[in-house]
Each structure stands twice: as structure tokens, then as C-alpha cells.
Amino acid sequence: MCKLCEKCLSPKMEVSGDGGSGVLICGEAPGMREDEQGRQFVAEGASGGKLRDALSELGFDFDRDFWATNAVNCRPSTLAGENRNPTSQELSYCRPMLFNLMAEKKPRAVLLFGSKAVESYLMDRSAKIRSSFKMDAWRGLAFPDIQRQTWVYPLLHPAFICYSPHFEHVFKRDLENALTMIGEQKEVRPVNWTEAVLPLHSPDRIVAALSAIHSGRMGDIIAIDYETTSLKPFH
């Protein structure tokens, strides 16, 4: 049973926004102002104001163009009533609600603002992925989520920019790049890995594959991976 909601004014906060662009925004957790108003990233809050202004500069309207939710749907607070970061356990409690929302809305892209949003999204992946959710490893990336058929973009949280204003140009550049890529990238579709991936473990298989490539039987686009050990969200 979820224990986060006992002191919240807006427990299990519902999604907000019209989602006109088909893009879902996922923050970390509601703050005090969000809890009071029952909406994510409110304009009166420091984070909400920063994000809304940045989107407006790029020609987007937060409420019209996006759906908005958080990795934790209730406001986590200290005993003194101050905002605090959600714990990994708290993220796991609310995680099913995020993916239920995605199944309902079917966003073509998800913007993950902050390390807690990234952790929530990827906490069931490999040990290598789970070893670090620090934003210096994730911000600015874009990767397809084959399972949920959407593009995912980890971004700095606007609250971080409020405390570290010298990173504002990075925040705005990454946000602009993400929204530009969303407009250009193709739809993510399910992949039949048995047919789409050809492991080459012997010289004969390598020769056969090269012959197929040379003859054009492999199609127009081919990717070759050499002994992959790099950071990959779906391995």
C-alpha cells in the first residue's frame, strides 16, 4: 500500500495538459505549489515557471501541447514539511501509474526531467544501466523504447537550473534539440529480433552475410555492432 499520500493535499495527482503534440512530460515529484493546485509544473513555482518559459520561447504551450505527470504522483516531504527527493522505493510504488498512463495516451515521445524520472523509467533494466542515473551520463541522449513504442529524452530538471543557473544554456539547448528531433524522427515500431538481428559467430556466416549485403538482399539500411559493451537501455 502506498504511504506517500497521508499528508498530501492532492494524493495520486492526475495527469494534466491536453497533449496536443503527443508528447508526455515526466518530472520527479510534485512540490508544495503543485500539491496545493493539483497540477504539475505550475507557473507560480520556480521549476514550472522555468520550464513553461523555455517551452514558450520554442513556440510551445505547456498546457496545450503536452501531457504532464511525475515519477512520484504524491508530494514527498520531510517531517518539517519541506520538499524532498523521492526514494527508490517510492519511485517503485508509483512506477506502474506512469506506464499505465503511457499505455492509455500512447505518447510518441517522453521527456524525462531529472535523475529520479530517469531512474523510475529504467530501474528494471540491466545492472549496468542501474549503476548510475546521474544526469551527466543521460542528459541530451535520445533512445527508442521498443517495448512501449516511443522515443525517450532524458533532460536536466528545471529545478537544477534554478540552483545552478550557469547550466541554463545546456538545459535550453537540450530541450530544443529534443523537440526538434521529435518532429523529425520516425515512429518506433515493434521489432522481431529473431529476423532483424543476425549474429555472426563463424567465418562462413560472415561470408554469407557479406554476400547478402553486396547483393542488396539485406535492404537499404544495415547496422553493424562490434562486441558491444556500451551503455544501452535495452540490454
Lowest mean pLDDT among 82-86, 222-226, 227-231: 227-231
pLDDT band at residue 5 under the 50/70/90 scheme? low
In the chain the domains, ranked by start, together with CATH numbers, are 4-184 (3.40.470.10)
Mean pLDDT of the chain: 87
The 10s digit of each residue's pLDDT in 13-35 is: 899 999 999 999 999 999 888 98
Residue 186 CB coordination number (10 Å)? 7
What lies within 8 Å, CB to CB, of 209 at 6+ separation is 198, 200, 218
Helices within 134-167 (DSSP H only): 135-138, 158-163
The 10s digit of each residue's pLDDT in 120-167 is: 999 887 666 666 778 888 899 999 998 899 999 999 999 999 999 999
Give percent of the chain above pLDDT 90: 49
Whole-prediction pTM value? 0.81
- Provide mean pLDDT across the span 200-229: 79
Three-state DSSP state, 162 = helix
Which among 46, 44, 48 is positioned nearest to 62, based on CA atoms? 48
pLDDT band at residue 1 under the 50/70/90 scheme? very low
Q: Which residue has the cell 523537440?
A: 179
Residue 93 CB coordination number (10 Å)? 17
Angle, vertex CA 1, rays to CA 45 and CA 7, nearest 5: 35
Residue 119 CB coordination number (10 Å)? 22
Alpha-carbon gap, residue 159 to 80, rounded angstroms: 20
pLDDT band at residue 9 under the 50/70/90 scheme? confident
pLDDT of residue 114: 93
